[in-house]
Structure 1
Amino acid sequence: MGDPSGVGAEVIVKALAQHAPADRRRFVVVGDRETLERAAGTSGSDVAFHAFGEAGSAGSIALAHVPVAGLPGRFGVLDPACGEACYQYIATAVAMAQSGSAAGIVTAPINKEALNSAGHHYDGHTGMLAALTGAPSSFMLLASERLKVIHVSTHISLKGAIDRAMPERILATIRAGHAHLRRMGYEAPKIAVAGINPHCGENGLFGDEDDRHVQPGVAMARAEGIDVVGPISADTLYYRAYQGAFDLVVAQYHDQGHIPIKLVAFDSAVNVSLGLPIDRTSVDHGTAFDIAGTGRANHVNMLCALDYAARLAASRPAA
């Protein structure tokens, strides 16, 4: 459900309300009953909930209620109790996915300040999920119909992102993106890697990281048979990918990947975590405290995240 003070509960109830009653049986919401029912009331969504594991009325949605003390009981406030709730909801969902009682996880937005104020020191969902599942590393992929971007690094400083862009990490990012697209039906994905510096450094004039770090990572991936090119200057690469020249762009840092995809697919891009032993998708927006509880939150992104998760569940290899 994400942060109880944010728009997560609202976009969930709105999205599930659009599913046919029989289709709602596929979903279990992990969160707080009172918050979800309050969101349903403010948004005018006629959805009902029943306890997970029990039989419900036709069209009602299974709810794994996770009690957390001290929730503020209203939307639009920053509160450590909400940060604790974020952590507890995610931990519960991870346990369900690891046990096989859920095929995957779809997450609503959390507030990083609230999460950290509750004593859970993560940079966001992706790092927390890696820690909870024991994954050595993870990757953020933003997927839309015409543009898909995977990141070498995300929630770190720009200086830290440059330091992290080593050949081995770039190779691992390319591998993760290639494997994901293969799973999603791309027989031979075409991948392009963005440069770090303007014009990829202009042969050292604007920095040598592209020559020393990016090129070797790309070369190693090509040696494994992956159809990848780069580094390519980022100021032209995204346009080429959007026009169909590439199936996936490897972005070197957070804003290099987020800005173009939010420009062309702000409401429909889905955040997908790669490198984890479980499947997870998410909306690609924040808690929006300023409109939480007003009934004005757009739930299209949640519908897209649910749809992508269903496609992942359908593509899971047989046990």
Structure 2
Amino acid sequence: MRGWIGITLGDVTGIGPEVALKALAAEFPLDDTCYLLIGDAGHARQVNQQLALKLPLQTYGGANGAGRVFIANPLAEPLSLDLVEGSPSAARAAVAWLADGAQRCLRQELDALVTAPVSKEMIVRAGQAFVGQTEFLSQIAGVERTAMMLLGQDERGRWLRVALVTTHLPLKLVAEQVTKARVELTIELAAQACRDLGLPRAHIAACGLNPHAGEGGQMGNEEQKVIGPAVLAAQRRQFDVIGPRSADVLFYNALRGDYDVVVAMYHDQGLAPLKTVAFETGVNWTLGLPFIRTSPDHGTAYDIAGQGVANPSSMMAAIRLAKQLARARA
């Protein structure tokens, strides 16, 4: 099957269905891509009607059906339309839809998967072990060599791309998880991402873990014992990478175009600057999966759910990146 993008609706008590359908309404007229929404039909149709989006939603009956926008729900029972914020049934459904989308990709029924936001907290409260979508999809795909990349551009068209060595960890556990192997793998995946994006180069810079990249070992030795040796090993493998560099200046240099990707050591080190410059256009891209997966870089935003005011820009960017990557692989 070619030209199919799957979109999971995420937590329906958040803004996932709204941004998914708004983005789809904007993207639908631009080409002949087919879309499969994976989620609850009642919620999708309700949003479509309330926002007057006029998307021609059809129940999915197979790849050969007439039309271009379909919805499928792997769950036997529909969700109630009046669920409360963070409902356990909505949280469990979001995980089921995510799993279904991944399995469809693995069966090559979809060319890419775009995932709307879920709440990790609510999923865990609902009784399911869950660290994050990146980790969950990696487990389903049976792969461990993955990394999270966030990318987006500011209002002047300047790109910032960040690949994370560690993801969803308490800060006190980060140092022990920043290993030479993980740093080197993230550099490798970042370089491949540059090739997948069609960039003319893959100039990568690695952050230090500690303030001022450790001040020569005066404020931590991870730069000398772990990150530096990983960068040197990557250089020996012909990767165009430097580091470790102090994070407090590195992102400025990357934004002005000195580097194509920044390798950050932990979640907030990378995502805080990325979201500062590209909150409305940022995309989360899981590197290393056997299929393409992107998502918006924001959460469920329960506080504005159901009001019709959610900005779909990040979801639009996620869909566009998924289509770009799928075309490149075709």
How large is the RMSD of aligned CA atoms in angstroms? Answer: 1.8
Matches within 5 A, 1:90-105: 90-105=98-113
In the alignment, what sits opposite 1:154?
Answer: 167
Q: Find the partner of 1:280 among 269, 290, 293.
A: 293
| Farther-moved stretch of structure 1 (304-313 vs 138-147) | 138-147
1:116 equivalent to 2:124? Answer: yes
- Contact 1:9–1:39 (Cα < 8 Å) also in 2: yes
Provide the residue aligned with 1:144 in structure 2.
152
Letter in 2 for 1:121: A
Counterpart for residue 306 of structure 1: 319
Deviation at 1:29, TM superposition (A): 0.7
2:216 alignment partner AA: N
Amino acid at match of 1:181: C
CA shift for structure 1 position 250: 0.2
C-alpha displacement of 1:124: 1.1
* Distance in 1 of aligned mates of 2:30 and 2:214: 56
* SS of residue in 2 equivalent to 1:231: strand
Aligned residue for 1:236? 249
Aligned residues: 316
* Residue 235 (structure 2) aligns with: 222
The Cα shift of 1:117 comes to 2.6
Contact 1:9 1:35 in 2 (8 A): yes
For the 8 Å contact 2:201–2:260, the answer to whether it is kept is no
Taking only the aligned residue pairs, the percentage that are identical comes to: 36
Choose which of 252, 259, 277 in structure 1 pairs with 2:272.
Answer: 259
Letter in 1 for 2:72: A
Partner of 1:85: 93
Name the residue aligned to 1:206: 219
Which letter does structure 1 place at the counterpart of 2:82? R
For 1:301 and 1:75, the matched residues in 2 are separated by 25
1:189 aligns with 2:235: no
Change (3 A) 1:149 1:75: farther
Q: CA deviation at 1:242?
A: 0.2
Distance 1:68 1:199, change over 3 A: farther
Cα pair 1:270 1:282 within 8 Å, conserved: yes
Taking structure 1 as reference, are residues 289 and 75 closer, same or farther at Cα in structure 2, changes over 3 Å only? farther
* Mapped partners of 2:80, 2:327: distance in 1: 38
Q: Which 4+ runs in 1 deviate beyond 6 A?
A: none
Q: Is the 2:40–2:78 Cα contact (8 Å) retained in structure 1? A: no
Amino acid at match of 1:313: A
Change (3 A) 1:293 1:56: farther
Contact 2:42 2:79 in 1 (8 A): no
Cα distance in structure 2, aligned partners of 1:180 and 1:45: 34
Corresponding residue SS for 2:27: coil
How far 1:20 sits from its partner (Å)? 4.2
| 2:282 equivalent in structure 1 | 269
> How many angstroms apart in 1 are the aligned matches of 2:248 and 2:28?
43
CA distance in 1, matches of 2:243, 2:174: 18
Question: Where do 5+ consecutive residues of structure 1 fail to align?
Answer: none
Query: Following superposition of structure 1 onto structure 2, how do residues 163-174 of structure 1 map, counting pairs within 5 Å?
Result: 163-174=176-187
Counterpart among 34, 53, 57 of residue 49 in structure 1:
57
- How far the C-alpha of 1:69 sits from its partner, in A, is 4.5
Q: 1:309 is aligned with what amino acid?
A: A
TM-score (norm 2): 0.91
CA contact (8 A) 2:40 2:79 kept: no
